Structure 1
Amino acid sequence: MTSRFPIGTNAFEREWDALLILDTCRVDAMREVADEYNFIGSVESMTSVGSSSFEWMNNTFRTRYKPQIRNTAYLSQNSFVDQTFGKGGTTGKASIPFEPSRFDVVELEDFAYIEHLWQAEFDDASEWTVSGEAVSRTSPRYTTERAIEAGRTRDPDRLIVHYMYPHDPYVLADEKLQPRFDTALKSGAATREEVWAAYLDNLRFVLDQVEVLLKNLDRERVAITADHGEAFGEYMFYRHPPACPIPSVRKVPWVETTGTDERTVEPTAPSPSDSNRNATAEERLQQLGYL
């Protein structure tokens, strides 16, 4: 039903020059840390068009918004890009018979520019990698520097930067919360308070990089939001299953701010094609606990 009749507010219905997506960011989490960041003022909320990344992508980048998308650059750390554009959309691991066959989604060539940040793979010693006790993943710093590069050299009318934080795994947390927090939460190995604290640390980790980006990007209207939220046991839901109706997953923050390029950073992050090797979509999904 949501593939044919999506609910929520499409980001292209709002005014922005740059849209920063914090994957799985909850409204209450953003409000809890807001006072720690000068660039966060009022934290509003809106209903997302999806409760999972693939659902959000398929319902955001619909063909009806093709005129706006043609003037939009999209830099994404989320590997569902690979399964969305050019393949008519996908629902990943949705259970039959609830998986729709196709979405009304644009093609890769309909973007002004698209960069598959998720493909970049670095060794554990790389400055672009952050390692936890049990898992490693690409640092949000890599996304920030690639966005700075795109903002300065390509200067698209609209820029979307999709960070893969605060999405788990929580590389800054104890090993018991890696790779998936819900395993520890369901088994009793970790309390909700411990999981929430680790989640907020992941959020601060990416917001620190958002702060860097805003000081190195000339954009008058910057919006910070999320593709979807996260469930920590509310109504017996965990993480962010597709077509999930509960507010903690479906409501996302909306923060409006601005960016001024003070050139405090000269980006050195390599293009995804110049990284050590290119990861596959399956490898990224496995890293994030989907496979």
Structure 2
Amino acid sequence: METRARLARALTNPVLFLRGCNRQFHRRLGLRPHNPDGIAVFEADWDALVVLDACRYDVFERRSDLPGRLERRRSRGSTTVEFLRANVAGRDLTDTVYVTANPQLSQHRESIRPDFHEVVDVWREDGWDDDHGTVLPETVTTYAKRAAEEHPNKRLVVHYMQPHYPFVGSGTTFDEGHLDGAGDGENVWNRLLTGRLDVDREEIWRLYAENLDRALPHVESLVESLDGRTVVTADHGNMVGERSFPIPFREWGHPRGVYTDELVEVPWLVHESGPRRTVTHGAPDSQDNEADDADGSGEADESVVAERLRDLGYAE
């Protein structure tokens, strides 16, 4: 049903049809479930992996002064879900605690079937900022430091939401209503793509870069608090009006299954400090910080996930 709906939308909007054609090229007509040139992040050598959602390599290189050795890597996906499926699904990750501001793992839990020791969903009620419609980076840092103390013998993955939309504290008016559902139901990137939002490209660039700036001091605080080898990276990048490939229309956001440089080139900053962690596997936490409704059906939780994803611009 979802595939039919996407096809119907594409047929009524030429640029969405062109995006679909590019996706078919990059995925080789569906033969590639993800970017085959991407790094398998859990096979890399690190004690803590800090993930900046939708952070391009070139923007990170210009804006970040985090301590460490910066390298360039290619991601396995152009969306968070692709990144998770390509790196998490089918792996024994009971040596790892995943602290995340992004609800996508919860939304796609049945298909990804994560096997982490523990998942800390910061985006649930106590970590969510209603005023901004996201999880603020300082909140993620607080949860991550706590997890590092509570699990000294586990690898740690910390997934920040920024620089992913929404643009925190930007004061923009073009996306008014995205928090209360008063808008047209489309995220900012799709409105730019289809020409229903006319905002100068340089303004979008500024907002995107400043959203990264908003997170970096809190990422630095976390990195400097951790012993061992910490890597700062991203799950994928973001396009800001560059020409896509092979059909060269202007692309916005981070469409699934499209592996242009802007979408899959990500930072890989390695920071070394103090002794390495002695990492052990352990039985997964059975609760996984899952919050169900009173009768145990999970319907209330699904509603929260859908609301959070909409606020983060995932609703299409």
Measured against the shorter chain, the TM-score band is: 0.7 to 0.9
Q: Which residue of 2 aligns with 1:222?
A: 230
- Distance in 1 of aligned mates of 2:163 and 2:34: 29
Q: Residues 174 and 184 (structure 1 numbering): CA distance in 2 closer, same or farther, change over 3 Å? A: farther
- 1:117 correspondence with 2:114: no
Q: Deviations over 1:205-229 (max 9, x none)?
A: 1111111112333x21000000000
Of 43, 48, 58, which aligns to 2:85? Answer: 58
Q: Which residue of 2 aligns with 1:290?
A: 314
Compute the displacement of 1:181 (Å).
Answer: 4.3
Of 231, 242, 256, which aligns to 2:239? Answer: 231
Compute the displacement of 1:3 (Å).
Answer: 2.1
Secondary structure of 1:229's aligned partner: coil
Length, aligned pairs only:
245
- Distance in 1 of aligned mates of 2:60 and 2:197: 26
Q: What amino acid does structure 2 have at the position aligned with 1:129?
A: D
- Distance in 2 of aligned mates of 1:147 and 1:226: 17
- 1:88 correspondence with 2:111: yes
- Distance in 2 of aligned mates of 1:244 and 1:153: 38
Q: What amino acid does structure 2 have at the position aligned with 1:13?
A: E
- 1:258 correspondence with 2:272: yes
Q: Deviations over 1:253-290 (max 9, x none)?
A: 111113579xxxxxxxxx897xxx97721011110122
If the length of structure 2 is used for normalisation, what is the TM-score? 0.70
Q: What amino acid does structure 2 have at the position aligned with 1:117?
A: V
Q: What amino acid does structure 2 have at the position aligned with 1:227?
A: D
Q: Deviations over 1:110-145 (max 9, x none)?
A: 2111111122356xxxxx7374xxx53321111100
- The unaligned stretches of length 5 or more in structure 1 are 90-106, 123-127, 262-270
Trace 1:1-291 onto structure 2 (pairs within 5 A): 1-3=31-33, 6-34=36-64, 37-39=65-67, 41-63=68-90, 65-66=91-92, 69-85=93-109, 87-89=110-112, 107-108=113-114, 110-121=115-126, 129=129, 131=131, 135-178=132-175, 180-182=187-189, 183=191, 186-187=195-196, 189-217=198-226, 219-234=227-242, 235=244, 236-258=250-272, 280-291=304-315
Compute the displacement of 1:23 (Å).
Answer: 0.1
Q: Residues 187 and 174 (structure 1 numbering): CA distance in 2 closer, same or farther, change over 3 Å? A: farther
Secondary structure of 1:237's aligned partner: strand
- The unaligned stretches of length 5 or more in structure 2 are 1-30, 179-186, 245-249, 276-288, 292-299
Q: What amino acid does structure 2 have at the position aligned with 1:256?
A: V
Q: Tell me which structure has the larger Cα radius of gyration.
A: 2
- Distance in 2 of aligned mates of 1:21 and 1:152: 19
- Distance in 2 of aligned mates of 1:166 and 1:228: 11
Contact 1:22 1:225 in 2 (8 A): yes
Secondary structure of 1:210's aligned partner: helix
- Distance in 2 of aligned mates of 1:148 and 1:83: 25
Contact 2:134 2:308 in 1 (8 A): no
Contact 2:69 2:271 in 1 (8 A): no
Contact 2:134 2:161 in 1 (8 A): no
- Distance in 2 of aligned mates of 1:130 and 1:216: 28
Q: What amino acid does structure 1 have at the position aligned with 2:208?
A: Y
Contact 2:56 2:238 in 1 (8 A): yes
Compute the displacement of 1:188 (Å).
Answer: 6.0
- Distance in 2 of aligned mates of 1:197 and 1:60: 31
- Distance in 2 of aligned mates of 1:256 and 1:50: 21
- Distance in 2 of aligned mates of 1:4 and 1:202: 27
State the superposition RMSD in angstroms: 2.6
Identity rate, percent: 30
If the length of structure 1 is used for normalisation, what is the TM-score? 0.76
